[in-house]
Amino acid sequence: MKLAVGTIPFGLRNPYRDRGKVPFQEAAAIMAYAQQAGMETIDTAPEYGDSETIIGHIKEGYAFPRIVTKTPAFPEEWIGPEPIGRLEAVFRRSLRAMRRTPVYAVVVQRGEDILKPGGERIVGRLQAWKEEGLTEKIGYSVVGGADELDRLLERFKPDLVQLPANALDRRLLASGHLRQLRASGIEIQSRSAFLHGLLLRDPSLLPSRLERLREPIAALHGAWMRQGRTPLQGALSFVKSIPEIDEVIVGFRSLPQIREVHRAFVEIPGSSEGIEDIPLPPDSDLMEALRG
């Protein structure tokens, strides 16, 4: 299991804190440190502001062997020729912005778009890019739980799946889907290790719309404190305890932050001790948190 660099902070502000996007020079320093630390993957998307352009202008970006980008979201209820034309144009623009061909993987940003009428056109276009040599792998990102993943797997078997996994979002671990994906040879990249930073915050300071997460987060903090761990260490330790995960995508906002996270990731052993007995929040609360 390795850390991967998420680039949302390079192009977008933090949804839960009053912070703007990362300055260019800081982004360059983050990527330089990540490359020196042996991280191999950059995760980006055309909808992450100008993050793809930043990658294309930072020389350290060329040292990463694996860049994962995504499709745009599809607001349409039916995927016809026009949305596919837009998909093609956006992908070609992404390649130019990043100055990288081929990329390691292209992921459908909202996997549920494949489930719409005409969604097979999205799959067909991704498969065409793979055959053309523009990407090594194709896949999709899962936001919902087991039901969404089951329906996606019925449509097509991906090379790679991105999914949420953290100490509060254990849905796909509890359902056995992570084992299923691993047994099928599908690469797994996890995201939201800190649930958009919520797992690291004082629960009493959470936004009112997330007040039902205060109690379970406080319970997590209590369990980690009894183990002598900070929330950061505890959150990383839990994700590291999941053997099926290949990479953990984390967005970094500063050079000191990536140093701190990387050090904790390397030093803290994986453990889910004290976590299993903390009830999972309702899916609606997790979805609200994941939406940002």
> What pLDDT band is residue 191 in, cutting at 50, 70 and 90?
very high
Tens digit of each residue's pLDDT (9 = 90 or more) over 137-171: 999 999 878 999 999 999 999 999 999 999 999 99
The predicted structure's pLDDT at residue 14: 57
> What pLDDT band is residue 282 in, cutting at 50, 70 and 90?
confident
The predicted structure's pLDDT at residue 12: 77
CATH node for 2-291: 3.20.20.100
The predicted structure's pLDDT at residue 18: 46
Tens digit of each residue's pLDDT (9 = 90 or more) over 60-82: 778 888 999 999 999 999 999 99
Q: For residues 234 and 64, give the distance between their C-alpha atoms in angstroms, rounded to a whole number.
A: 28
Q: For residues 144 and 153, give the distance between their C-alpha atoms in angstroms, rounded to a whole number.
A: 13
Instruction: From 70, 63, 68, 55, select the one nearest 24 (Cα to Cα).
Output: 55
pLDDT at 291 over 70: no
Lowest model confidence (mean pLDDT) among 176-180, 231-235, 237-241, 283-287 = 283-287
Per-domain residue ranges of the chain: 2-291
Tens digit of each residue's pLDDT (9 = 90 or more) over 103-120: 999 999 999 999 999 999
pLDDT at 48 over 60: yes
Lowest model confidence (mean pLDDT) among 90-99, 189-198, 208-217, 225-234 = 208-217
The predicted structure's pLDDT at residue 292: 56
The predicted structure's pLDDT at residue 218: 94
The predicted structure's pLDDT at residue 16: 47
Q: Which two tokens stand for residue 237?
A: 């330790």
Q: For residues 22 and 245, give the distance between their C-alpha atoms in angstroms, rounded to a whole number.
A: 27
User: Dihedral of CA 131/65/113/151: which sign?
Assistant: positive
Asked if residue 172 lies in contact with residue 146, where contact means CB atoms within 8 angstroms, the answer is yes
The predicted structure's pLDDT at residue 159: 98
